[in-house]
Structure 1
Amino acid sequence: MNRPVLIGISGGTGSGKSTIAQEIYRKFGEECIAMIEQDSYYKDQTNLSMEERVKTNYDHPDAFDTTLLINQLRYLIEGKNIEKPIYDFSLHTRKEESIKVEPRDIIIVEGILVFQDEELRNMMDIKIYVDTDADVRIIRRLVRDINERGRTVQSVIDQYLNVVRPMHMQFTEPTKRYADIIIPEGGHNKVAIDIITAKVKQLLNK
């Protein structure tokens, strides 16, 4: 097995990272791609009380177990299976169960801060930053957090203004400079998707 092609996809919350990832996934198929979401690698907090857990700043680099993410990517590159963690946002900690991920020709690593850590960033063959206007992103986050994470409208707005936006400006937005490709408007940019697909095919054929 040749070394897999690692694709990093970053951008702010609600930017369309997952849409880009799914478009690439659709182009190549399940048998070719392993999906690694940075959200799965939030630190285990079973040692903390619920009162302490709810204070977690999920938009700060310290919230992630980046060491585990890097180690598991190395295993996949070496052709070994991994057990990808599952994070429970209602309990603010990692679940006991995990998801088995097998090595694939293409590994997609997707998350708001996947370019923030130099070691992680340097593992990637293609770095994509999805650049979407803030008003679109907050609407998408609002819908997601209400429907998928049981949040109230006010709690999502408060979190966005007090935590998400300042963290985005401090940590996520500056990593745009590391991107090989910057995609405006996420998964709706078909030309960018075609360019990425062609590049991935070129790397796979080497």
Structure 2
Amino acid sequence: MDKPYLVGITGGSASGKTSFIQSLKEAFGSKDLCLVSQDNYYRPREVQQRDDQGQINFDLPTSINVENFLTDLENLKSGHSIEIKEYLFQNEEKTPQLICMEAAPIIVVEGLFIFHYEQIFKQLDLKIFIDANDDIKLDRRIRRDVDERGVSKEIVLYQWQQHVVPSYQKYLLPYKEAADIVINNNEHFLTSLEVIKNHFQKILHK
């Protein structure tokens, strides 16, 4: 391959992006596939925008350090490895890990706003949008944020209504039609996963 094959995966909060990507990582070794997650490029909490109630709004494109995101992406595309510290949203008792990523023939970029950022969007060779019904996404979000991030259910519901849904309508949904593939993940994504895996195999063996 003359240059890496760049894949963008987006979708609403708790649509199943992380699970889908984890399945891809398990199917391909690090020599074949590298994952760059937007979640590790959030700006420090102290500079994040807060709403009228004093709650940080992580669901804004400005919450991401897109400059660092782009720099690391360019380094990977050029064949260089990168290191980035894991971003911790609420669980301050946890020690952030240092994530090391090696360049690979297939680079998967995932996150809420990767289609919104024109500098990233125009580089993508394949665009995937993962979708699910709102009630299913909310249930997943509650379980994830309460169990993994230590957020109270009340805060989760507040963020969903005030931050998540408005952001989805403004910064994600308009780009759904631009996706090459839309995956419905109300129940599972196994069929779509096999299609993507087969496509990746063809890319790797060109």
Residue 143 of structure 2 is matched in structure 1 by 143
Partners of 1:170 and 1:57 in 2: CA distance: 14
Partners of 1:172 and 1:37 in 2: CA distance: 16
Contact 1:14 1:140 in 2 (8 A): yes
| Code of the aligned partner of 2:73 | L
Partners of 2:61 and 2:198 in 1: CA distance: 32
| 1:80-91 equivalence runs, <5 A | 80-90=80-90
1:46 Cα deviation after fit: 5.3
Q: 1:66 to 1:134 in 2, by over 3 A?
A: same
Tell me the TM-score normalized by structure 2.
0.88
Runs of 4+ in 1 over 4 A off after TM superposition: 45-48
1:45 Cα deviation after fit: 4.4
| 1:42-191 equivalence runs, <5 A | 42-45=42-45, 55-90=55-90, 98-185=98-185, 188-191=188-191
Q: 1:82 to 1:21 in 2, by over 3 A?
A: same
Q: Calculate percent identity across the aligned residue pairs.
A: 31
1:195 Cα deviation after fit: 1.6
- SS, match of residue 59 in structure 2: coil
Partners of 1:47 and 1:166 in 2: CA distance: 21
Q: 1:97 to 1:15 in 2, by over 3 A?
A: closer
Q: 1:97 to 1:199 in 2, by over 3 A?
A: closer
Residue 204 of structure 1 is matched in structure 2 by 204
Tell me the TM-score normalized by structure 1.
0.88
Residue 32 of structure 1 is matched in structure 2 by 32
Contact 1:86 1:98 in 2 (8 A): yes
1:187 Cα deviation after fit: 7.9
Residue 18 of structure 1 is matched in structure 2 by 18
1:186 Cα deviation after fit: 6.5
Deviations 1:54-98 (A, max 9, x none): 643111101011111111111001011112232121279xx8874
Partners of 1:119 and 1:143 in 2: CA distance: 33
Contact 1:80 1:102 in 2 (8 A): yes
Partners of 1:139 and 1:117 in 2: CA distance: 28
RMSD: 2.6
Partners of 1:59 and 1:143 in 2: CA distance: 18
Choose 82-91 or 5-14, whichever is displaced more. Answer: 82-91
Q: 1:152 to 1:86 in 2, by over 3 A?
A: same
